[in-house]
Amino acid sequence: MTSVKLYVYDLSQGMAKQMSLNLTGRQIDGIWHTSVVVFGQEYFYGQGIMNAIPGTTHHGQPMQVVDMGETYLTEEIFIEYLNSISSTFTAAKYHLLDFNCNTFTNDVCQFLTGRNIPDHITDLPADFLNTPFGQSMRPMIENMFGPSSLNGTAAPIQQQPVPSASSMSLLNNVSSAALSASPASVNPVQNIGNLSSLENLIKSQRGVLAFFTSSTCPPCRVIEPDFMRKLEDVNQDRIKVVGAKIDTHVAFDAAQKYQVRSTPTFMAFVDGKKFAEFSGANFAELNSTVDLMIFTMYPPHCHRKINLRAIFDISTDPILFKNSGNLENIIKKLQSLLDEANITLNPTEQTTLQKAKAFIEKPQENDGHFTPKEWDELVASICSKLPTDKQFPLLDLFRSLILSRDIGNFYTHDCTTIAKLIETAATQDVAKPTLLMTLRLICNTFAHPVLARTHFSSALPDSHRTIATSLLVKSLLSSDASVRQTASSLAFNFSCVTSKDRMERESTNEPPRDDEDWEVEIISAVTNALENETEGEIVYRLVSTLSKLLFLAPKESPLPSLVSILDIQKVIKEKDSIQGKTYGSKITALAREIDELVDASMREMDE
């Protein structure tokens, strides 16, 4: 177990406590910034998700340290979780009122310990807007961060005070402190004072757009806002192109070296070499130059050059089994199987079973009466006594419960019970109902991206991916069509995780995860299943799985070569019995696009 601490700071540095009563009519002790300390690091959100040695950030020492409890998760799973939410908590998405550092720490504490951070911290933005002063400041805040979705119930605007200089200073200080949690490694636009500084910048950055200007140049003043805005837009997630603003009257040696004869003049440099040059306040030229720089430095994947209508038509959502069925009959069946095995549930267990039924029917009315822990204990108790082949009604209830966010969050912390059920189905010759419900249970874990990603599709040491994959391989070759259909859904869900991860990494120019061995295993299993499959829906899901695993595969990936060697395209095209039926045209279109994906990847490897 590892302790989890919440560090609390006051962004106003005492100003809120001094000024709040006069300004808002109520006492506000601080404008709270929080971070989470776990595994020897302090994690916080501002310019993206950042970390530092505890207590060494620019905020100094915390005003308060809140004990959030302990976590049973490993550091590897936690880092995997942070990677999975990094595309959500970017610098561009930060909002002082709606989506801030406290949003991040609350989510992290929920993940680690199942607890929320104190209400007075998360409720502060809404409380602030429910004052006349808050409503008067709202336009300034929204001008800085964009519209807020929070509703205020303060007095009408005409009754609100005009913000004073001191209150505006407070807002600016708080905003600056909030966003400066960890500044980017280099400012997106830098003022250059001499030739040496410019040349050092060109050498140290992949892309540099030099803007030669002068204080006496009217066209320069016209184009400068566009220059700043363009660089701000392209550098939202990470620095791709650095702007260099050079006053030719100051950095005359730089102007002389690059033979600048008029202003404004723009010069683009990529990987230390001059890439483009143009003069004049021409935004169209500025815009296209920056876009071409990014295209050159970060060329799109070869698959992005193909018209992949059939692949893009495939759902990006996992396949879930949401129909809970007749719960009364399911529980009666479970009770009869318990009676046959001479197993008697104690009063607490009987109550838990009925509460589970009520929770599935009306989860919004739970109010804490039914807890995931008591369900987990019931499952462990019944499974320790009831033969495996008679556990399917219990698993049927479980696969409906796991769709709930609260239940999913619980098993994100400790997935041992689900892992044992999967291992039993994967390693034993279980009856069809138990196998089917186990497959549906694991499919429904994909309703929770973090649970599915960290426990069933991650290469982390504590992941259960290996046993889940064994269950998939076994089930894809089942003689029963309903088992194969559910297994094909699991294969598809695995591919959805891979596809989403690649697209997220593509958007931030991050290298793909090294999961080649696992992806090869999935593709091999899917190919074996396809060879003898005749059910149209199953074939379509398997072919969709192949498509997702191939799309955006890294240049060095063995997957395209594997598909070519196995001649999967031929296997798919030989499904003549499916042609003309519901899925026939879709499968034919996907087969054609798989050909194109493989061909494009093979050509790129040869270049």
Task: Write down the pLDDT at residue 28.
Answer: 67
DSSP conformation letters of 528-545:
HHHHH---HHHHHHHHHH
Written out in words, the top-level CATH class of the domain with range 189-299 is alpha beta
User: What is the rounded CA–CA span in Å between residue 440 and residue 49?
Assistant: 34
User: What is the rounded CA–CA span in Å between residue 588 and residue 9?
Assistant: 59
Looking at 3.30.70.360, 3.90.1720.30, 3.30.70.260, 2.40.160.40, the CATH number of the domain 2-179 comes to: 3.90.1720.30
Q: How big is the chain, counted in residues?
A: 607
Closest by alpha carbon to 359, among 401, 412, 326, 410? 401
Task: Write down the pLDDT at residue 161.
Answer: 47
User: Given strand 265-270, what is the order of strands in its sheet?
Assistant: 189-192, 242-247, 207-213, 265-270, 273-279
Identity of residue 57:
T
Distances (CA, A) of 353 to 93, 248, 439, 441: 43, 78, 22, 18
C-beta of residue 421 within 8 angstroms of C-beta of residue 415: no
Closest by alpha carbon to 443, among 488, 502, 380? 488
Distances (CA, A) of 395 to 178, 345, 367, 431, 491: 47, 17, 24, 13, 20
Task: Write down the pLDDT at residue 54.
Answer: 84
Task: Write down the pLDDT at residue 19.
Answer: 61
Q: Is 43 helix (H, G, I), strand (E, B) or coil?
A: strand
* Residue 101 annotated in active site: yes
Q: What is the DSSP letter of 189?
A: E
Selected catalytic residue, list 33, 95, 301, 464: 33
User: What is the rounded CA–CA span in Å between residue 271 and residue 275?
Assistant: 9
DSSP conformation letters of 420-458:
HHHHHHHHS---HHHHHHHHHHHHHGGGSHHHHHHHHS-
CATH 3.40.30.10-classified regions of the chain: 189-299
Q: Is 498 helix (H, G, I), strand (E, B) or coil?
A: helix
* 146 Rama class: left (phi>0) / alpha (psi -120 to 50) / beta: left
Q: Within 13 Å, how many C-alpha atoms sit on residue 464's CB side?
A: 23
Residue 71 bridge partners (DSSP): 2
Write out the E strands in 330-374: none
Q: Are strands 32-38 and 2-10 parallel, antiparallel or unpaired?
A: antiparallel
* 273 Rama class: left (phi>0) / alpha (psi -120 to 50) / beta: beta
Task: Write down the pLDDT at residue 177.
Answer: 53
Closest by alpha carbon to 71, among 44, 36, 100, 121? 36
User: What is the rounded CA–CA span in Å between residue 390 and residue 277?
Assistant: 75
The CA-based dihedral angle spanning residues 117, 120, 125, 126, taken in that order and rounded to the nearest 10 degrees:
110
Task: Write down the pLDDT at residue 356.
Answer: 94
C-beta of residue 279 within 8 angstroms of C-beta of residue 573: no
C-beta of residue 278 within 8 angstroms of C-beta of residue 268: no
Cis peptide before 163 (omega within 30 of 0): no
Write out the E strands in 126-236: 189-192, 207-213
Distances (CA, A) of 367 to 363, 364, 370, 406: 9, 8, 8, 12
User: What is the rounded CA–CA span in Å between residue 381 and residue 520?
Assistant: 38
C-beta of residue 279 within 8 angstroms of C-beta of residue 210: no
Residue 290 bridge partners (DSSP): none
Identity of residue 208:
V
Selected catalytic residue, list 59, 101, 443, 455: 101
Beta-carbon contacts of 276 under 8 Å, excluding residues fewer than 6 positions away, are 266, 267, 268, 289, 292, 293
Residue 67 bridge partners (DSSP): 5
C-beta of residue 378 within 8 angstroms of C-beta of residue 349: yes
pLDDT averaged over 10-residue windows placed end to end, the chain, 607 residues: 89 63 61 88 84 78 91 82 83 80 92 90 77 63 62 45 49 53 56 88 90 94 94 83 92 93 96 95 95 91 92 94 95 96 95 94 78 94 96 97 90 90 96 98 92 83 89 96 98 94 79 84 94 91 96 91 85 68 83 92 84
CATH 3.90.1720.30-classified regions of the chain: 2-179
Closest by alpha carbon to 71, among 29, 115, 116, 14? 115
